[in-house]
Amino acid sequence: MIPHVLGLHALIALTVALSAWFLSRYTIPRPPVGRFVRADIAVMVVALVAMPFAYLHVPVAIVVSVFGVVVFTFTQLTLAPVLGGRVAGFAALVLCGGDVAAYFAGWSGVVLVLNDVAVVLLVVGAVNLWVQTAISPAQVAALAAALTLYDTLATGLTSLTLEFVARLDGLPFAPVLATRGAPEPSLVGLGDCLMLTLWPLVAYRSYGRVAGWTAAGVDAALLAVVVAAFLGGGGAVPLLTTLGPLIVVQWLYWRSRPVPVPSRPEVERALEFVPEPAHAVAAQGRWVALADGGVVGEGPTPGAARRAARQSGAETVPVVTFLQPVE
């Protein structure tokens, strides 16, 4: 049992790491849907909450087909920036087709592995799409709070989660990350994976490196506690019951901290040796990171400019300022 549990948490850590790596290197092509609003969060909550009920009460063929479409879409979306659109579509088709074929062949181990690959790709793609669509820390905190209430009821106070796990055991496209099936499953739900991965990336983008690593450390500590509780005979652990409040607390802490604003002399000194690059960026009205006598990063937000500076290899701490468009 112990290797399966540790392997599961290693998969979760891998999912978070892959999502962060992907965010630093690729941009997911997306439709022009604009920024996240409150209604989007409400839809996400309804979708995640309704999923277990769907698996319990809707014919299996319908549910598997619907989630298969979701897996195919996000697999293609995630792999497209890496492999190209056509190759990514072929890879997604092979993954989904292989999952279904393994199920009908009775290869439960292959189904388990392919399901895990599908869930990891789905989480990486969904989280990066949300982050790149500028989901805000407040929206993530609201989502975490709503899912906390649901997970407490579904896992801690009722048998809904246990019935859900029993129903989806061995099915293709099961929305769980697992390392072992029945009778003693080691798994974590899709909602848990999404929140464990989403908050560190949003915290990093919005509040900086320390906030991002702190969020990842909180994830690791919580998972260690969950492992200890499970191995101690605690049974199913409502992960979001604890993770949700921890996300809200981190959000409240980081939003209360003052954002350092560079003084006018600092900006003028930074701009002194970079008139042409600065004016080129200023023509667009962008945030810029200035260091080492040049523009080392730019973006639509201060955090994006700082991240671009780090990715460019800037060795000194940049001055970040907004340059008004040149008339």
Query: Three-class SS of residue 12?
Result: helix
% of the chain exceeding 70 in pLDDT: 72
Which of 213, 231, 256 terminates a domain? The answer is 256
Same domain assignment for residues 245 and 285: no
Structure confidence at residue 323 as a pLDDT band (50, 70, 90): low
pLDDT of 215 higher than 80: yes
Which of 227, 256, 285 terminates a domain? The answer is 256
Inside any domain, residue 50: yes
Q: Which residue has the higher pLDDT, 275 or 254?
A: 254
Instruction: Name, in order, each residue with C-beta under 8 angstroms of 134's C-beta and a sequence gap of 6 or more.
Output: 35, 36
Q: How high is the pLDDT of residue 153?
A: 76
Closest CA to 89 of 77, 101, 98: 77
pTM, to two decimals = 0.74
Same domain assignment for residues 246 and 287: no
% of the chain exceeding 90 in pLDDT: 23
Same domain assignment for residues 242 and 273: no
Inside any domain, residue 101: yes
Q: Which residue has the higher pLDDT, 50 or 218?
A: 218
Average pLDDT of the residues of the chain: 78
Same domain assignment for residues 208 and 295: no
Q: Which residue has the higher pLDDT, 256 or 157?
A: 256
Inside any domain, residue 68: yes
Cα separation, 7 vs 13, in Å, equals: 10
Inside any domain, residue 202: yes
Domain count, the chain: 2
Q: Which residue has the higher pLDDT, 93 or 179?
A: 93
Inside any domain, residue 119: yes
Cα separation, 305 vs 297, in Å, equals: 5
Q: How high is the pLDDT of residue 281?
A: 46
Tokens of 130: 């949300």
Q: How high is the pLDDT of residue 114?
A: 93
Residue range(s) defining the domain that contains residue 300: 265-322
294 phi/psi in degrees, rounded to 5: -165, 175
Same domain assignment for residues 180 and 314: no
Same domain assignment for residues 180 and 247: yes
Inside any domain, residue 327: no
Same domain assignment for residues 148 and 242: yes
Same domain assignment for residues 176 and 300: no
Same domain assignment for residues 227 and 106: yes
Same domain assignment for residues 154 and 285: no
User: Which residue reads 């600065």 in tokens?
Assistant: 278
Which of 256, 276, 311 terminates a domain? The answer is 256
Q: How high is the pLDDT of residue 268?
A: 55
Same domain assignment for residues 199 and 216: yes
Q: Which residue has the higher pLDDT, 168 or 268?
A: 168
Same domain assignment for residues 217 and 314: no
